[in-house]
Amino acid sequence: MKRFPVLMIFMFMLTSHAQEGMLKYRWKKRLVVLVSKDFNDSIPKVQLDLLDQEKERMKDRDMLVLRTSAKSEALGEFSISNNFEGVLLIGKDGGIKARYPFIVEPSKLFEIVDGMPMRKAEMRRKKGN
């Protein structure tokens, strides 16, 4: 009987840790979250390679790539099914801005980000400097 409370505490700690991982970037970074059951599979690798080729453009937009398991408890906070595999674009405010199955071209993500009011303000500030 004593194992059940310990297990519940452990599960809470895992869930909290995964959520904290994304929360620490709120208001600092736009997250591109790759969700997969197996990152050794070729499809997530191709997606990661496409994003890796755009490092400078991603840096300019304060974008950061994270990887997480399709079974991550943190995805439940966003109402994402544990069957989902693909790309999530999470804004600086912590909300999901886009959700795509693998493979999505980075230019599509840039188009969405560049249309965000916060990004437009950032571009105006950079232009003024």
Any idea where the domains of the chain sit in the sequence? 3-128
CA distances from 48 to 3, 21, 35 (A): 40, 19, 11
The model's pTM is 0.81
Instruction: Note the pLDDT of residue 15.
Output: 37
Instruction: Note the pLDDT of residue 76.
Output: 81
Amino acid at 33: V
CA distances from 114 to 7, 99, 108, 125 (A): 44, 16, 10, 14
- Model confidence pLDDT, tens digit, residues 72-127: 888 887 888 889 999 999 999 999 999 999 999 999 999 999 999 999 999 999 88
- Model confidence pLDDT, tens digit, residues 9-42: 333 333 334 456 677 889 999 999 999 999 999 9
SS3 state of residue 41: coil
Instruction: Note the pLDDT of residue 58.
Output: 97
Q: What is the dihedral of CA 114, 65, 102, 43, to 10 degrees?
A: 140
Q: Domain 3-128, what fold? A: Glutaredoxin (3.40.30)
